[in-house]
Structure 1
Amino acid sequence: MSKDTMKAIRQYEFGGPEVLRYEEAPFPELKPGEVLVRVHAVGINPPDWYLREGYKDLPPEWQPAVSFPLILGSDVSGVVEAVARDVHGFSVGDEVFGMVRFPSMGESTAYAEYVTAPASDLALKPAGIDHVLAAGAPMAGLTGWQFLMELGHSEANPFQPEPHRPVPLKGKTVLINGAAGGVGHIAVQLAKWQGAHVIAVASGKHESFLRGLGADEFIDYTKNSPEDIAKDVDLVLDTLGGPTTGRFLRTLKRGGALFPVFIGFSDAEEAAKLGITVSMTQVRSNGPQLAELGRLLDAGTVRVAIDSTFPLSDARKAHERVSGGHIQGKIVLTIV
């Protein structure tokens, strides 16, 4: 590797894990307002494999235009190598983590040895956790934070005319579907921290894991349909979303709320009859919110579970692990 290049994972076409190539790539150029980070770990998230495939499940008008070759990824943890002259608050040698340039599809480029990031997307890495854990936190943690606690921005909502508004959680019953996944397991902990009674929905093998994170009740969806068991719930966070999310309307009390993380809800008329608010948003990079989450991570109030780790060069294998499903926590790429 020369000083003008670095190792990265690039792809030249849409497709399965086999399109991911470990190769030399141009070294990123530091621009005003940015920080150059030597990456130690990269968190893998659903938008990574959606983009890898070409967002084939989105309507054509929603599919972002990207240029090849592209580098996937947004979540990083690493060490500051350089800062632009106009950047304050970060210095060379600082350990940082962040969700970089999301949701600017194809511009995050985190599957690489180095990445430049807007300073506003980063926070100091909590001293009490390592780079692998920190890399697993940003998108999952910010999704839970912005859906459940504070939106933190005024950007137009791409999914609905009105802004998403979190609801008070203290003393409420919150059901989290897909509770063992990246977003789900952090959302369980955030809801508990806010004083909610949490019902976790996942497959049976995750029960002890989720109860250890604070879940008050557990529903094994492989044995029972959660909509047949849970009743009088105040809020459902469906981390899986999609066309089946409307089934959770049956679990909610009048005046309750359903927050699907992914698009596909199509039962607006029924929700209106039941007096239920259905709302979603798109997570966005937010360094100050990440700093708040970092304090919870440092204190052990919230922890990140790691399903598996792979060297950056084995990103293809990491994406194959995604295809296997039943992930507990996060998958992380490491760079020595």
Structure 2
Amino acid sequence: MAVASSKTIVTIAGAAAITAFPPATYGKVVPYSQRQLLLHDPRQPYRLHTDREIPELRFGDLLVEVHGIGLNPIDWKSADFGLVLPSPPCLNGREFIGKVIASEVDQRCKLQPGEWVLAVSTDYRDFRKSAFQEYAIVCCYNAIRIPKHVDPFKVAPMGVAFVAAGLSLGVCLGVTFTKGPKKREFNLLENARWYPEDVPDDIAEEVFDALAPCYQAQPGEWLLVYGASTVTAQIVIQLAKIGGLKVAGVADLGKHRQLLQSLGTDILIDRSDLDQAKRDIKRLIPGSLRFAIDTVGPETAAWCQQVLAERTSSRYCSPGKETPTNPPPVDPTTRGGGSKLSHLVAMTGCLEKLNLNV
């Protein structure tokens, strides 16, 4: 990922000055219009437009003056290959940092005008929330306050990675976190199942059928992370540790050993020799290994799948004893089930061959 400054784009474009509203309630002058970077068709360059409308606030929204943008692979893949593009012209960009200048929220939203926030857009069809513009909308629950001692521009590329890490652990693996000063239990998978009408059809099977409660990752269990030095994996490691998991990270240790140690990775595995890596995992994790997350590609995801599949026999207990490693029989036709003991999250590509044990 990279960071792009919206101010740099404006300087290069050399566009005309924008007429402004009178000062807003918060002392910020909000313009009548703004600049946007639009994609009109796949395989065409982005085009800078002036005199575009400022996004309209709805209840629960914050209006943010964009100062920096986190760039993701989808930003060029959508342009080059036409991936996940609604009707053109399209406004892209999934994450940005900036200052809150207006809001339409209730008292539960603690973010104040003038504060720096990291904004994550989880709805690419709503162009109000896209990053490639000077003023963008973010839902209050998708805005993260940036502490005053943190450089906002170092935070800009973290939003999408944080969402990916949180969903991978919380929904795909069922990790339970705690929330608030009283450390009350926060079960993201259970929360997702409370609102079936809000779950898109293309992920319904993953939410409702992939993981029964007794299969969910439990504190003390191991998680294998391939590509442990990537931004998403770094967040996965830290969240997994908060959730009580033990983490084995696979990466280029010649470059990233110190980084991964600083994140709290329990076991470091060098990726230079994957056959040796398998032997190291077997030696260092003699018990159960049910979970893996791959952040690199189909080939490495297939390797993770093989590692999990080879550990199948170590996960069974005596019949009738229901534990996370020996779940009860599940009717696969019933929602809320989940019949697979091991679980692999492949973030960057589908596997050609699937193993029935994973």
Higher CA-based Rg: 2
Paired position in structure 2 for 1:297? none
Give the Cα–Cα distance (whole angstroms) in 1 for the partners of residues 267 and 63 of structure 2.
44
2:46 is the alignment partner of 1:26: no
In structure 2, the CA distance between the partners of 1:11 and 1:41, relative to structure 1 (3 Å rule), is same
CA displacement at 1:110 relative to structure 2: 0.4
Measure how far apart 1:91 and its partner are: 4.0
Question: 1:169: how far off?
Answer: 4.4
Read off the aligned partner of 2:290 and give its amino acid letter. D
2:71 maps to 44
Q: Distance in 2 between matches of 1:121 and 1:194?
A: 21
- Going from structure 1 to structure 2, the CA distance change for 1:138 and 1:92 (only over 3 Å counts) comes to same
Contact 1:101 1:117 in 2 (8 A): no
Residue 92 of structure 1 deviates from its aligned partner by: 2.7
Alignment correspondent of 1:156: 200
- How far the C-alpha of 1:195 sits from its partner, in A, is 2.6
The alignment's TM-score, normalised by the length of structure 2, stands at 0.63
Residue of structure 1 equivalent to 2:293: 237
Residue 80 (str. 1) matches residue 136 (str. 2)? no
CA separation of 1:30/1:237 partners in 2, compared to 1, >3 Å: closer, same or farther? Answer: same
| One of 267, 283, 288 as aligned partner of 2:353 | 267
Would you say 1:102 and 2:146 are equivalent positions?
no
Q: Which deviates further from its counterpart, 256-265 or 156-165? A: 156-165
Q: Does structure 1 retain, via aligned residues, the 8 Å contact 2:128–2:137?
A: no
1: CA distance between counterparts of 2:91 and 2:266? Answer: 40
Provide closer, same or farther for how the CA distance between residues 184 and 162 of structure 1 changes in structure 2, counting only shifts above 3 A.
closer
Helix, strand or coil at the partner of 1:259: strand
Work out whether residues 75 and 93 of structure 2, in 8 Å CA contact, stay in contact via their aligned partners in 1: yes
**Residue 13 of structure 1 is aligned with which of 2, 21, 41?**
41
Residue in 2 aligned with 1:119? 140
User: Is the Cα contact below 8 Å between 1:227 and 1:250 reproduced in 2?
Assistant: no
Deviations 1:175-226 (A, max 9, x none): 1112111211111111122232211122332222222212222233234354
Give the number of the structure with larger relative contact order, counting CA–CA contacts within 8 Å between residues 6 or more apart.
Answer: 1
Identify the residue that residue 88 of structure 2 maps to in structure 1.
67
Query: Displacement of 1:160 after TM fit?
Result: 6.2
CA 106–266 in structure 1, closer or farther in 2 if over 3 Å, else same: farther
CA distance in 2, matches of 1:79, 1:93: 5
Unaligned runs of 5+ in 2: 1-16, 19-30, 171-187, 283-287, 313-340
Distance in 1 (CA, whole Å) between partners of 2:157 and 2:249 is 20
Cα distance, 1:99 vs. partner? 0.8
8 Å Cα contact 1:64-1:105 kept in structure 2: no
Matches of 1:53 and 1:228 in 2, distance apart? 41
Moved more, 92-101 or 182-191: 92-101
In 2, Cα distance between equivalents of 1:128 and 1:7: 30
State the 1:148 CA deviation.
0.8
Q: 2:274 aligned to 224, 232, 251, which one?
A: 224
Gaps of 5+ in 1: 57-62, 277-336
